[in-house]
Structure formats: C-alpha cells, structure tokens
C-alpha cells in the first residue's frame, strides 16, 4: 500500500527531493527513486511498500547473523522489495533488484505474530530495511511498546536525521561492511563508503552492533583490505564487536568464483589479531562458529549450524573465569533480584511483619515504606551486581542460572 513518505522536500516545479538516504534523489512527477519504492505523485513523495512484505518467517537469530544478541532465540523476520544499493553480487537480488509479489502485513499484525510465535521481536531483513523507513518505524515503535526487540539487517546507507529518529526503537543491527575501498562501493554497489561508516559509528553508540563482511575473490580479499577493515572496526566500534566473515557464492551479475576456505581462513586470522569475536559464515567450519571467552579461552557458546548451546553463566559471565562477555541474553539481572528481595524485606519490616501485613491487607503498604525499602535495596543491589562481580556465582540461585541460559 502507498503512504506519504517522510524526509523529503517539495520544489515549486513539482519535483521532490528525497532525504531518506545519501542518494538524495530528485524526482520529477511520476519518477521513482533509485531504490524503486519511492515515487513522486503530484508533488507528494510516496512510499510504495508501506506494510507490504515478500517474506515472513521465524528465523534463528543466528541467521541474521547476530551471535551475541539473545543467542538461541527465534525472531520474526520480515522483508519487502527494493534496495538503495545495486550490488552486482547481491545474494537476494530476486527481491532487492527484481519485481516480486508482496502481501499486506500491517504493523499490528507483525507485532501480533511476533508475540504468537514466541519470537524475541522483529527483524527487518532480507532486503534493505532503511528504504522501508515508515513501516519499520511504526512497527518497531509498536513492538517496543509490546516489550519486543527490533533488529535491522542493513547496508547502513541512510541519512543521519532519519537514522537518529529510528535508533531509539532499534535494539540491534547487523551492518554490512562490504569493503574499505571507495571505488568498490561506487562501482560494485552504486553507493558510497563514508555514509556506511558513519551509520555504523552512530548506531554503535545507541544499539548493539555486529558487522558482516562478504569476501569476494578478486574484489575485496586482500590482506591489506582485511587489515584496514579490522583496524577500523576495532578502533571505531570497539575490539569486542562481533564480526562475521562470510563466504560469497556467485549470484546476480558478478561472475567471481565462490570464496575458497583458505581465503576465509586468512581473513579470519587477520581479523582475529585485532578483534575478540570473529566468526565465519556461509560455510560449515567448526573454527569460527563458537564463542570463546576473550580472557581465558573457555567455550562460552557452542554452535552447530543454527543450533546453539549456551554455557554462559547469568550476567553473560564466562563459565570458567567469571568475566562478563559482550553478549546480551534473556534473564533477570542479578541487581533486579536483589532489589526485589531487599525491597520486599524492608517493606515487611516497615509494615510490621508478614502476619500483620496480611491482616491489614494491601492498603497498609504505604508508599513511604516502599520508597524507604527500595532506595537502600537498589544501592545494595548495584554493589552486589557490579562491585562484588566475582562473588556473583556464589550468590546466584541455580534456578536463575537455568532461566538465563535458556533465554526467552
């Protein structure tokens, strides 16, 4: 369905300029942008794909790929048509570059289906979600209100202003870094490198970010390329940024051979010298699929295909050395447990004991008791959770450990 787009300017001659992505397309009457999904109709810019999907599926979160964000969980994944890049090697060109049938799927339905399927949230994926901006923003806002997570799998090609509006409702992103060469982006993708790097930097301040690099023989597979990319990720996003080195297979218009395993291994070694969590994707290889503690090397999360076994302790702590790993998992924060526990205790004491509390009924729980209980409880909880980190394992009930390991 068509809906008026956001982020555009009208001109007196009836043309419009779309400001959603760095292309900044100027469109005369009836013209369509480079992404093929935004059209000028009578001086109004329309999004032609609002609430239109080509694919809906519950995928393992590992398929996005996100390895450090609720590992082992399922996420409702949606895609539509179009893209603001025109990569010659596009792996999903049937929906990004060609016309594919779509079906209506309004935001309320997407959120309802995510809840009904037990997904942790919604991933906007398969094609480029930035050009679906209006729908993604509305759906992600509703999903957030419903307590769900939102994930973008993106090329990072979006202007700064819409990105700033979207990020507050986005929990995690996987951003494609295709090359560190400007020419590569111009000639093979029809875009520019700098805005992608800016998006990655900006997103990593507000959300959880993982990076994917598709290695294409003869185009972006030199050691120098790997070194520059790994240095940039480590320097700008941080050495703990999970980075996926992905194998290319011939698709669409580029005729390069599939990525040899030896090339992936070379990339893996170079990236691993600079980054703590590097993975191989699109290949069945034992090395490069598990998560190991960057401090002691202990096995933290095992992966076989999309099946995961999580050995992390509550709080995403290493099973051996107890250090916290950069993994976001479901589970009750230990601080929350202490806060609830101590606040309840203080409230009971303030109210004169459990028996008295029951006798007087809920009306007797006065706000000053609750406040008096909660404030010291929160302070104690933070002390236990952060300052006494090493002792946490001894203070953690086994039941909570199981809850945290199995996710939502």
Q: Which residue minimizes CB distance to ligand SF4?
A: 33
Quick check: 151 and 173 in contact, CB under 8 A? yes
Sign of CA dihedral 187, 102, 128, 95: negative
Closer of 185 and 369 to ligand SF4 (Cβ) = 185
User: Taking the complex as a whole, how short is the minimal distance between the CB of residue 179 and ligand SF4, in angstroms?
Assistant: 20
- DSSP letter at 32 equals B
Task: Determine which residue in the list 23, 144, 213, 303 makes contact with ligand SF4, applying CB under 6 A.
Answer: 23
User: What is the CB neighbour count within 10 angstroms for residue 15?
Assistant: 15
Task: Output the CA torsion sign for 209, 188, 59, 76.
Answer: positive
Q: Which residues of 43-54 are buried (b: 16+ CB within 10 A; e: fewer)?
A: eebbbbbbbbbb
> Of the two residues 77 and 84, which places its CB atom closer to ligand SF4 in the complex?
84
- From the list 14-22, 46-54, 136-144, 165-173, the region that binds ligand SF4 by CB under 6 A is 14-22
Part in contact with ligand SF4 (CB under 6 A); list of ranges 17-25, 299-307, 370-378, 380-388: 17-25
Decide: is 310 part of the binding site for ligand SF4 (CB under 6 A).
no
CA separation, residue 291 to residues 29, 71, 165, 296, 400 (Å): 52, 11, 33, 12, 22
Under rule CB under 6 A, residue 25 binds ligand SF4 = yes
Shortest Å, Cβ 45 to ligand SF4? 8
Looking at the Cβ atoms of 70 and 135, the one nearer to ligand SF4 is 135
Nearest distance from residue 93's CB to ligand SF4, in Å? 17
217 and 263 in contact (C-beta within 8 Å)?
Answer: yes
16, 20, 163, 293: residue in contact with ligand SF4 (rule CB under 6 A): 20
Name the one range near ligand SF4 by CB under 6 A: 18-26, 46-54, 295-303, 310-318.
18-26
CB under 8 Å to 391, separation ≥6 — which residues? 384
What is the DSSP secondary structure assignment for residue 258, as one 8-state letter? P
Stretch that binds ligand SF4, among 30-38, 119-127, 256-264, 316-324 (CB under 6 A): 30-38
List 35, 76, 95, 169, residue binding ligand SF4 (CB under 6 A): 35
Residue 21 is a binding residue for ligand SF4 (CB under 6 A)? yes
Residue with smaller CB distance to ligand SF4, 20 or 153? 20
- CB neighbour list of residue 109: distance below 8 Å, 6 or more residues apart: none
Exposure string (b/e) for 262-272, b if CB count within 10 Å is 16 or more?
A: ebbbbbbebbb
Q: Which of residues 125-144 bind ligand SF4 (CB under 6 A)?
A: 131
Task: Give phi and psi for 307, each to the nearest 5.
Answer: -90, 130
Rama region for 55: left / alpha / beta (φ>0; ψ in -120 to 50; rest): beta
Assess 207 for contact with ligand SF4 (CB under 6 A): no
Query: Which are the contacts of 384, defined by CB distance < 8 A and separation ≥ 6?
Result: 334, 335, 338, 391, 392, 395
Query: Residue 300 contacts by C-beta under 8 Å, 6 or more apart in sequence?
Result: 290, 291, 292, 293, 310, 311, 312, 318, 319, 325, 327
Minimum distance from CB of 3 to ligand SF4 (Å)?
Answer: 14
Name the residue nearer to ligand SF4 (CB basis): 25 or 169.
Answer: 25
The binder of ligand SF4 chosen from 38, 68, 149, 178 (CB under 6 A)? 38
Omega prior to 328 cis, within 30 of 0: no
Write down the least CB distance from residue 55 to ligand SF4, Å. Answer: 20
- For ligand SF4, which stretch binds (CB under 6 A), given 29-37, 176-184, 202-210, 299-307? 29-37
34 part of the interface to ligand SF4, by CB under 6 A: yes
Of 47, 54, 73, 84, the one binding ligand SF4 (CB under 6 A) is 84
Q: What distance in Å separates the CA atoms of residue 108 and residue 237, rounded to the nearest whole number?
A: 34
Q: Which residue lies nearer to ligand SF4 by CB, 33 or 121?
A: 33
**Size of the residue set binding ligand SF4 (CB under 6 A):** 12
Considering only 24, 91, 94, 113, the residue that binds ligand SF4 (CB under 6 A) is: 24
- The footprint of ligand SF4 (CB under 6 A) covers 18, 20-21, 23-25, 33-35, 38, 84, 131
């Amino acid at each position: 369905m068509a809906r008026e787009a956001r982020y555009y300017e009208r001109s007196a001659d009836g043309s419009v300029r779309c400001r959603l992505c760095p292309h900044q397309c100027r469109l005369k009457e009836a013209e369509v942008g480079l992404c093929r999904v935004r059209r000028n109709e009578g001086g109004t810019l329309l999004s032609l794909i609002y609430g239109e999907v080509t694919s809906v599926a519950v995928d393992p979160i590992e398929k996005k790929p996100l390895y450090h964000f609720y590992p082992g969980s399922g996420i409702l994944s949606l895609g539509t048509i179009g893209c603001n890049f025109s990569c010659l090697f596009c792996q999903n060109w049937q929906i990004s570059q060609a016309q594919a049938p779509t079906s209506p799927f309004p935001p309320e339905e997407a959120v309802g289906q995510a809840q009904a399927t037990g997904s942790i949230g919604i991933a906007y994926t398969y094609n480029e979600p930035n050009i679906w901006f209006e729908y993604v923003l509305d759906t992600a806002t509703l999903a957030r209100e419903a307590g769900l997570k939102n994930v973008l799998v993106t090329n990072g090609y979006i202007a700064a202003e819409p990105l700033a509006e979207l990020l507050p409702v986005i929990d995690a992103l996987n951003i494609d870094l295709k090359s560190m060469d400007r020419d590569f982006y111009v000639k093979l993708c029809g875009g520019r490198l700098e805005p992608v790097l800016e998006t990655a930097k900006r997103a990593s301040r507000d959300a959880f970010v993982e990076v994917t690099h598709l290695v294409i023989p003869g185009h972006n597979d030199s050691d120098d390329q790997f070194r520059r990319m790994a240095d940039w990720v480590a320097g700008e996003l941080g050495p703990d940024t999970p980075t996926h080195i992905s194998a290319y297979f011939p698709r669409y218009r580029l005729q390069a051979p599939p990525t040899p395993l030896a090339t992936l291994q070379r990339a893996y070694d170079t990236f691993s010298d600079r980054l703590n969590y590097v993975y191989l994707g699109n290949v069945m290889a034992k090395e490069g699929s598990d998560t190991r503690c960057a401090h002691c090397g202990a096995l933290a999360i095992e992966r076989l295909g999309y099946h995961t076994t999580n050995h992390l302790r509550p709080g995403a702590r290493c099973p051996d050395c107890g250090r916290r790993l950069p993994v976001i998992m479901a589970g009750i924060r230990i601080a929350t447990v202490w806060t609830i526990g101590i606040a309840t205790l203080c409230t009971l004491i303030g109210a004169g004991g459990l028996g008295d509390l029951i006798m007087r009924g809920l009306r007797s729980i006065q706000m000053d008791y609750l406040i008096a209980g909660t404030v010291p409880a929160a302070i104690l909880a933070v002390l236990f959770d952060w300052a006494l980190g090493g002792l946490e394992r001894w203070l953690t009930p086994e039941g909570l450990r199981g809850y945290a390991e199995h996710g939502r």
